[in-house]
A and B are shown apart, each in its own frame.
Chain A
Amino acid sequence: MHLPDGILPPAVTLTGYAVSVAVAGFCLYQIRQFPDPRAEVPRTALLTAVFFVASLIAIPLPPISVHLLLNGLLGALLGWFAFPAILVGLALQALMFGHGGVTTIGINGVILGLPALLAFALFRLAGKLPRQFQKLGERVLGFVVGAGAVALSVLLFAGLALSFLPAAIDAERERQALAALMLAYLPVLVLEGLITALLVGFLQKVSPELLHGRASR
Chain B
Amino acid sequence: MPRSIRLAAYATLLVTAAAANGHGTQIEGAVVPGIRVQAQYDTGEPMAEAQVIVYAPEQPAHPWLTATTDHAGVFQFVPDPAQLGTWAVQVRQAGHGAMLNLPVLPTETVSHQITVCTNHLSRTQQWLMALAVVWGLIGTALFFYRQRGANASS
Contact = CB atoms under 8 A, between A and B. Distances in A.
Nearest to A39: B148
A181 B53 contact: no
A64 B126 contact: no
A46 B137 contact: yes
A5 B95 CA distance: 10
B137 A181 contact: no
Nearest to A63: B48
B14 interface: no
A186 interface: no
Contacts, number: 103
A52 B130 contact: yes
B30 interface: no
Contact of A6 (B97, B119, B142): B97
Nearest to A36: B148
A36 B149 CA distance: 13
Given A42-B141, A97-B42, A169 B94 contact: no
Contact of A5 (B98, B133, B137): B98
Interface in B129-154: 129-130, 133-134, 137-138, 140-142, 144-145, 147-148
Interface string B77-120: 00000000000001011111111000000000000000000110
Contacts of A5: 98-99
Contacts of A158: 95
B92 A7 contact: yes
Nearest to A96: B129
B133 A52 contact: yes
A98 B45 contact: no
B81 to A, nearest CB: 23
Contacts of A46: 137-138, 141
Interface residues of B, number: 36
Nearest to B94: A177
B60 interface: no
B141 A45 contact: yes
A53 interface: yes
Nearest to B100: A6
A30 B66 CA distance: 49
B97 A96 contact: no
Contact of B133 (A36, A65, A92, A174): A92
A217 B154 CA distance: 27
B137 A48 contact: yes
Contacts of B138: 45-46, 49
B94 to A, nearest CB: 4
Contact of A42 (B41, B95, B144): B144
A38 interface: yes
19 contacts: A4-B96, A4-B98, A4-B118, A5-B98, A6-B97, A6-B98, A7-B97, A41-B140, A43-B141, A49-B133, A49-B134, A52-B137, A56-B130, A63-B48, A92-B133, A96-B133, A97-B119, A97-B121, A174-B94
Query: 5 shortest A-B CB distances, which residue pairs?
Result: A161-B95, A98-B118, A177-B94, A42-B141, A98-B119
Given A5-B99, A158-B95, 17 more contacts: A3-B95, A6-B90, A6-B98, A38-B144, A42-B144, A43-B141, A52-B134, A53-B130, A56-B126, A58-B43, A60-B43, A65-B41, A98-B118, A161-B94, A169-B53, A170-B66, A181-B94
Interface of B: 41-43, 45, 48, 51, 53, 63, 66, 68, 90, 92-99, 118-119, 121, 126, 129-130, 133-134, 137-138, 140-142, 144-145, 147-148
